[in-house]
Amino acid sequence: MEKLVLATHNAGKIREFRSVLEPLGFDVLPIRQVCPHITEPEETGTTFAENACLKAEYYMKASGLPCLADDSGILADALNGRPGVYSARYAGPDCDDEANNRKLIADLSAFPPEKRTVRYVCVLALLFPDGRRILEEGQCQGILRDFYAGHNGFGYDPLFYVPSLGKTMAELSMDEKNAISHRGRALKQLVEALS
């Protein structure tokens, strides 16, 4: 099995990546398991691709192993694409999911429900020590609700309503989510590129 480092501490992302990559023969290791005392790099990129590559390169060099990093977020059309690359720290540098969710709900409260269209974007960067790199992007469209539904997701998932399924991302099973989510779509393209 080829070892592959995940550049994330997020348990939800680790579960999602493992469910897709381990059946392909990868031994998927969270960075904390490989480099327990490493500090996180500062995400200075202005795009999802820049941040994903920055993280993948940083952790690949630290571990000496192929590294998969993602940068993802939510873009609200009514807010001209905000929070975008700042999705994880939308309510401030030390905020949590709940604070980010409250801020996005508040910022969209002036708009009627049909104008609260959002999309998730995910860029995956897989970098190898020999210089190979694979970059893939996935997107998923939805509507931001101002109330929570579901317990299976993380981040904005309990608010992100998928009209075609009549559920929020947090109400979907892992298989359902992987089939339509931004990360699932980017992962599918990554799997095709690896094949």
Which are the catalytic amino acids?
Answer: 71
Residue 190 DSSP class: H
Q: For residue 179, give every residue at least 6 positions away whose Cβ sits within 8 Å of its Cβ, in sequence order, or none.
A: none
CB of 73 closer than 8 Å to CB of 12: no
Query: Measuring CA to CA, which residue among 3, 129, 125, 8 is closest to residue 60?
Result: 129
Look-up of token digits 């031994």:
27
Query: Measuring CA to CA, which residue among 78, 10, 77, 72 is closest to residue 47?
Result: 72
- CA distance linking residue 98 with residue 12, whole number of Å: 15
The letter for the amino acid at 5 is: V
